[in-house]
Structure 1
Amino acid sequence: MPQINAERWDAVEKLVDQFCDTDQVPAIALQVMVDETSRCYFKGRQQVGNGSDPLREDAIFLVASITKPIVVLGALKLLEAGELLLGDRVKQFIPEFGCAGKHGVTIRHLMTHTSGLPDMLPNNRELRAANAPLSEFVKQICQLTPDEPPGRMVQYQSAGIAILAEVIQRITGQSCAEFLKQSLFEPLGMRDTSLGVPEEWTTGTDPRIERIAEIRIPEELNIEPHWDWNSPYWKRFSAPWGGLFTTPSDLAKLVKMLQQRGRYRQQQIFSYRTLEEATRNQLCEIPGLSKAARQGKGWGLGWQIVTAANSDYYGDLLSSAAYGHGGATGTVLWIDPLLQASAIILTTQPQEPHGRFLARISNTIVATIEQ
């Protein structure tokens, strides 16, 4: 059975110490699972400024785009309930979406980044500066003309996940945040996880909001501090494409469920067939995609299939069966079924343009595994 080599694990901690002690990264939290063995490690500061308190062991992180596959899991709960099909057109649920060349966009297109929608709205900065609500983003995405017809290109896009969250709301009558809480987080016991900061996190003697680790905002993004990742606006915004707050231990429960083919403790959270479909490459079966469009890319339903072309987050040593997702705030989650291993790496330093620290940590983690 695979296991973690204790001496090699020391190299993981030394690398994390190096990143934090040299201030390349303000804070790093690791949760690594190999078969039945689990290791965690916390290093750095709770706040970005020097002299801040050490990173709390119950610190909560904004994981950015790791949010995306979790929102997709929410939609897959509706698929299992018979509420939607992958081939359903989005306009069945959001009639106003079916205009300007988007008539043929399906749920599968949204989940696989093949809808032709852009990553962000052209006026994304202006909307955030105006503290616009999520509903305004959805309204404007519905009016967009896609960059290409659906199913013709693979283009990473937050806009499609925003529309998927709106589909969830139209079907259930609940916000995406509330639906995820009831259908996924509560059954998994993820008590410190929320899409956006809820009101109850701001009250009490030790409010959870105080546990949120501050992100170092890169100079090129530090233009409008009232709407950056640390701002009250962004914390309340509940962005379906990047607004999830969680902890390594909470994410580990979700990972465990995925590794156990949908089962967690005594509950079957998902059918194993649903998760098999979600974690295999879907691009080969989208007929309009050319070989060139698929080259070097792999997308399941929400999950990125790890390839040599996207090693900036995952490193160089994962197997061809691995899948996961990264986040712009400096986070990555990966699961490798062949290695029987997974890793959750949460930091407060956006990776680009500061180097491949996530990939380097991933490589040292994989190097600890003894078969």
Structure 2
Amino acid sequence: MSRIHPARWQTVEQLVDQYCESGQVPAIALQVITGETTCHYRQGRQSVEDDNGTLRDDAIFLVASITKPIVVLGVLKLLEQGELLLNDRVKQYIPEFGCAGKHGITIRHLMTHTSGLPDMLPNNRELRSAQASLSEFVRQICELTPDEPPGRIVQYQSTGIAILGELIQRITGKSAPQYLRDELFQPLEMQDTSLGVPPEWSKGGAARLERLVEIHVPPELNVEPHWDWNSPYWRGFGAPWGGLFTTPADLGKLVGMLQQQGLVLDQRLFSAQTIRQATRDQLPEIPGLSETARQGKGWGLGWQIVTRAKSEYYGDLLSDQAYGHGGATGTVLWIDPQLDAAAIILTTEPQEPHGRYLARLSNAIVAAIEV
């Protein structure tokens, strides 16, 4: 059973202190799980410009694209209930999606980033600046022409995850935020987690709104006062591709379920086989996807498979069994079954495209693990 070496863990804490005290990263919160031991550490500021402000113990982070595999888990819950098949065409559930070369796109294509869809709508920035609704994003995605036919390329696509959120609503009659709350967050007792900030978070004496950590917005993205990650519009938007608010402790509960192959406190939330399928590389089995197209890449169902060629965010030391996901707000979650360990690193410094702070922290964390 793995454990954390105390002296080596000090190196992790020193690295966090260095990044925060130098101003390179406004805030960092860690949770590392090894065997039956959990280590926590946090440092930095609740607000970017408040030099005297200390990061709260109960701080809530916007984790950006870590949202994606969680939405996929919601769809896999529907699969277990017999509501759909991975090779079903999306147009079966969302008829207006089946146009402009998207007829053959399946649910599996959306989950594995092999649909051929672009990452974002070409007018993504204009839509956000106009405070467009999620339904307007979905409508325009349904009109898109893919860059390539489905199953030909591996191309990261937030647009495809948006359609999975719509799929949840079409099948269940519930919004994706409500469905995830009912089927995932409540069973896992993730009390401080929501897809988008719900109205009830602004109520009560200990309003969760006060616990939201401010993201540092780079100058190139700071184009409209109501556009950025910290705006009321985006906080309430609930993007299926990147709108999840949560804490390291709550994500740790999700990680525990995945490590236990679907078990939560001796109750089965997912079958072990569903978790195995979600966390293994699916790309070799996508018909029409060449070896060249998938070279250096790996995708399960929503989860990224860590490969030697794809070490951004994850560092250089994880095993070939590791999987996880990163987020554009400066976040990463990884699980390594070979190490019997997992890490949640939440920051407020966007680190596209290389995750330089996240990768260095991941290396230091793995170096502190004794198997």
Aligned to 1:147: 147
Partner of 2:75: 75
CA contact (8 A) 1:112 1:301 kept: yes
Separation in structure 1 between the aligned mates of residue 26 and residue 249 of structure 2, nearest angstrom: 20
Aligned equivalents of 1:10 and 1:186: distance in 2? 35
1:287 CA displacement = 1.6
What displacement does 1:267 show? Answer: 1.3
2:253 match: 253
Q: Cα RMSD over matched residues?
A: 0.9
TM-score calculated relative to the size of structure 1: 0.99
Structure 1 counterpart of 2:288:
288
Secondary structure in 2 aligned to 1:42?
A: strand
Letter in 1 for 2:110: L
Q: Is the counterpart of residue 266 in structure 1 residue 266 in structure 2?
A: yes
State the Cα distance separating 1:219 from its structure 2 match. 1.1
User: Counterpart in 2 of 1:331?
Assistant: 331
Shift of 1:370: 1.1
Give distance in 1, aligned partners of 2:309 and 2:164.
27
2: distance between equivalents of 1:52 and 1:184? 37
Equivalent residue number for residue 234 of structure 1? 234
Q: Which amino acid aligns with 1:185?
A: F
Amino acid at match of 1:137: F
Query: 1:195-214 to 2 correspondence within 5 Å?
Result: 195-214=195-214
C-alpha displacement at 1:335, in angstroms? 0.1
Alignment of 1:67-146 (within 5 A): 67-146=67-146
2:32 paired residue number: 32
Deviation, 1:285, is 0.3
Q: For the residues of structure 1 that align with 2:277 and 2:220, how far apart are their CA atoms?
A: 39
CA distance in 1, matches of 2:327, 2:17: 21
Give 1:355 shift: 5.8
In the alignment, what sits opposite 1:62?
Answer: 62
Q: Which runs of 5+ in 2 are unaligned?
A: none
Q: How many Å apart are 1:145 and its aligned residue?
A: 0.6
TM norm structure 2: 0.99
- CA deviation after TM superposition for structure 1 residue 52, in Å: 4.1
The answer on whether the counterparts of 1:33 and 1:343 sit within 8 Å (CA) in structure 2 is yes
SS in 1 for 2:33: strand
CA distance in 1 between partners of 2:353 and 2:22 (Å): 17
Deviation at 1:334, TM superposition (A): 0.0
Match of 2:357 in 1: 357
Q: How far has the Cα of 1:354 moved from its partner?
A: 8.2
Cα distance, 1:330 vs. partner? 0.1
Q: Please list the CA deviations of residues 32-59 of structure 1 after superposition, one character each: whole Å capped at 9, or x if unmatched.
A: 0001011000100000004342000100
Distance in 1 (alpha carbons) for counterparts of 2:132 and 2:89: 27
1:259-288: CA deviation from partner (whole Å, max 9, x where unpaired): 001001031000000000000000000121
The one-letter amino acid of 2:291's match is K
CA contact (8 A) 1:116 1:147 kept: yes
Moved over 6 A (4+): none
Aligned twin of 1:320: 320
- Whether the 8 Å CA contact 1:46–1:52 is kept in 2: the answer is no
Instruction: Using the aligned pairs only, state the percent identity.
Output: 73
Aligned length: 371
**Are the structure 2 counterparts of residues 337 and 355 from structure 1 closer, same or farther at C-alpha, using a change threshold of 3 Å?**
closer
Distance 1:333 1:244, change over 3 A: same
Q: Give the letter for the 1:136 counterpart.
A: E
Gaps of 5+ in 1: none
Structure 2: how far apart are the matches of 1:353 and 1:78?
A: 33
- Once the two structures are overlaid, the 10-residue window that deviates more, 249-258 or 51-60, is 51-60
- What is the letter of the counterpart of residue 219 of structure 2? E
Separation in 2, partners of 1:292, 1:160: 22
Partners of 2:159 and 2:42 lie apart in 1 by 33
